[in-house]
Amino acid sequence: MIKAGIIGSTGYAGGELARLLLQRDDVEIKWYGSRSYIDQKYASIYQNMFKIVDDKCMDDNMKELADQVDVIFTATPQGLCSTLVNEEILSKVKIIDLSADFRIKDVAVYEKWYKLTHGSPEYIKEAVYGLPEVNREKIKNARIIANPGCFPTCSFLSTYPLVKEGLIDPNTIIIDAKSGTSGAGRSAKVDSLFCEVNENIKAYGVASHRHTPEIEEQLSYAAGKPVVISFTPHLVPMNRGILVTAYASLTKEVTWEEVRAAYDKYYKDEYFVRVLDKDVVPQTRWVEGSNFADVNFKIDPRTNRIVMMGAIDNMVKGAAGQAIQNMNLLFGLPENTGLKQIPMFP
């Protein structure tokens, strides 16, 4: 039995972690942490947990929690996990952090984009970027896992094979991404109100979104050289889902079969990455509620460019599902344990 604690359990990602973990017989959630709802019943905040969870919300005392569990998920705002973690805690428990605190290896870049002073920069180098499709072996022995962001997960999986194989010039990549409103979190914000979001679509964080350096860093590792991209996210009136449409210049003339072979090289044995059939475009509705990432591409010979596409559920593969995928690796379990949910439709 894996004993787990969740700090930040009342946010959307924390709630999704609870929903997925509660379906398992091999995991016990010992701690529903929430600074905003201490001593309130968890089921009073998420009524879908009525008669399923009787526990009350606890605080964010990671030191106390580390004595009770095997793994701690921190689904918290940026900056909190890095102020809580220390060597004593890491000697007792695994940390899977869903914030950006340990994703970016250059602390100066993190502090510039997130406007925060990092609380424990000594652990940045040690932390493993938790994208199983790339860092599977490193994840298995990690003490701290930096769970990737939702936009970076979808953007990277959509473009990685072609960057890795040198079929595109990575510095020509333009990523247009669209997200459901759950990606903005559960806290009250005017921009997330129904009347602000409904019947509307807008770009935000233009040329300044803080997931940009995370995407660039991971693509730089794939390319073996520094990569600079253009990334623009958009907010769309739906609850869940991310759709990425990425464009890049080809480095040579290619056939559909050559490009497909590149995707198959990296993803044919990946349970959660589904390379779609020719001319089938990814859609968020076909991944909703699941840990799957659907990807595909279209060659545009007229412009010597290629269009790379991807779709994920931002709350599952983009957050909680990927965190559980990482937990499975940490504890030597099949990677898809507890994550075989078929996408919901309608």
Tell me if 67 is assigned to some domain: yes
Domain harbouring 41, CATH code:
3.40.50.720
- Please indicate, yes or no, if residue 179 is contained in any of the structural domains: yes
| Cα–Cα dist 274/269, whole Å | 10
Q: What is the pLDDT of residue 146?
A: 98
Residue 74 lies in a domain: yes
- Same domain for 23 and 65, yes or no, is yes
Q: What is the pLDDT along the chain (346 residues), one digit of tens a residue?
A: 999 999 999 999 999 999 999 999 999 999 999 999 999 999 999 999 999 999 999 999 999 999 999 999 999 999 999 999 999 999 999 999 999 999 999 999 999 999 999 999 999 999 999 999 999 999 999 999 999 999 999 999 999 999 999 999 999 999 999 999 999 888 888 988 999 999 999 999 999 999 999 999 999 999 999 999 999 999 999 999 999 999 999 999 999 999 999 999 999 999 999 999 999 999 999 999 999 999 999 999 999 999 999 999 999 999 999 999 999 999 999 999 999 999 999 9
Active site residue 150: yes
Examine the domain organization and report whether 91 and 214 are in the same domain. Answer: no
Q: What is the rounded CA–CA span in Å between residue 174 and residue 177?
A: 10
Residue 343 lies inside a defined structural domain of this protein: no
- Indicate which CATH number applies to the domain containing 307: 3.30.360.10
Q: Tell whether 135 is covered by a domain.
A: no
Domain holding 61, by residue range, is 2-126
Distance of CA 290 to the CA centre of its chain: 13
Residues 97 and 183 in one domain: no
Q: Please tell me which residue in 81, 150, 154, 195 is annotated as part of the active site.
A: 150
Number of domains in the chain: 2
Same domain, 156 and 278: yes
Q: What phi-psi label fits residue 185: left (phi over 0), alpha (psi between -120 and 50 degrees) or beta?
A: left
Taking each continuous run of H as one helix and of E as one strand, the counts in the chain are: 12, 13
Indicate the residue among 60, 91, 126 that finishes a domain. 126
Pair 208, 72 in one domain: no
3-state DSSP of 78-93: CCHHHHHCCHHHHCCC
**Do 42 and 79 share a structural domain?**
yes
Residue 340 lies in a domain: no
Q: Which structure tokens are listed for 253? A: 């003339």
Q: Do 33 and 111 belong to one domain?
A: yes
Within this chain, do residues 260 and 293 fall inside the same structural domain, yes or no?
yes
pLDDT at 274: 98
Whether residue 244 contacts residue 176, with contact meaning beta carbons closer than 8 Å, is answered with yes
- Is residue 81 domain-resident? yes
**Pair (103, 198) in one structural domain:** no
Q: Compute the distance between CA of residue 89 and CA of residue 70 in angstroms, rounded to an integer.
A: 11
Query: In this structure, are 201 and 278 located in the same domain?
Result: yes
pLDDT at 186: 87
